[in-house]
Structure 1
Amino acid sequence: MAPQLPVNDVMLILERDGAVCLAERQGTGYADGKLNLPSGKLDPDEDVFDAVIREAFEEVGIVVPRDALRLVHVMHFRNPEGEPRVGWFFVAQHWDGEPRNMEPKKCAGLSWHAPDHLPDNTVPYNALGIAHWLKDEPFSVHGWERSA
């Protein structure tokens, strides 16, 4: 059997006044009612920087210059459904515009939360990435535990 290639996800950590921006998922059929970072998957022929810049504009209506992005964590993750993913977590050091909900059919709204006290309904994949960012840990592996 051929190995399953991982999906590459990009997540954007927008921090302001000691809080991070989270979006409440709705109407997507996956993790609805949970909070996640502005995020998405790479499109064909797109690098991770272009993807996170595109997602920032599509989801929260801000323009993030490429040189304002800092890669803070990479996670090799297997979700509860067993699908492998690689998450690229970026911090935007500055951006143009005010974050706002650009996808009201997929997002119930934006809210700001202390990164070290995230709500219980934060998507675990995102919460783990934020926790590793806070600890200045550049790489992690989750969901691949094996029995001894």
Structure 2
Amino acid sequence: MVTKVSRGFTFVELMVTIAIIGILSAVVFPSLTGARERARDAERVTEVGQIALGIELYYNTCRAYPATLTTSANNGCPSSITLATFLPTIPVDPKGVAYGYGTASGAFVVAATLETTNHSSLANDVDTTVGGVACDDAGKKYCKGG
């Protein structure tokens, strides 16, 4: 009597494996999309802080805030000093949108719109309107200013 040795997987084993992989990916995928949004928001918060620091350094030298958020901005400083002296490049939002900037009455604000609601940074930001830039937690606006 000759017995045939079977090598490989049966159809049922393959289907069970595919079903398990499908269930696992359905559970994991939604959490990964939230991670991307949180990562972009973390980048926005960091970049807004960098811009605000550059503007404060500019203010310490020139005793005025730049009128616009451009590297060539010069507001009452010697011509050799521009915002680029302290901030060589202006960061851009991860989605390519420019950050908001407003200045008025000896104050300034830099704003970014976050993707996630109830981001932890919204509790420690500026919630006011400066130079036409409105900063409110309801609109997911993260703002830093001086």
Question: Which TM-score applies when normalising by structure 1?
Answer: 0.27
Work out which structure has the larger RCO, using CA pairs closer than 8 Å and 6 or more positions apart in sequence: 1
Larger radius of gyration: 2
Question: Which TM-score applies when normalising by structure 2?
Answer: 0.27
* Bigger proportion of residues as helix: 2
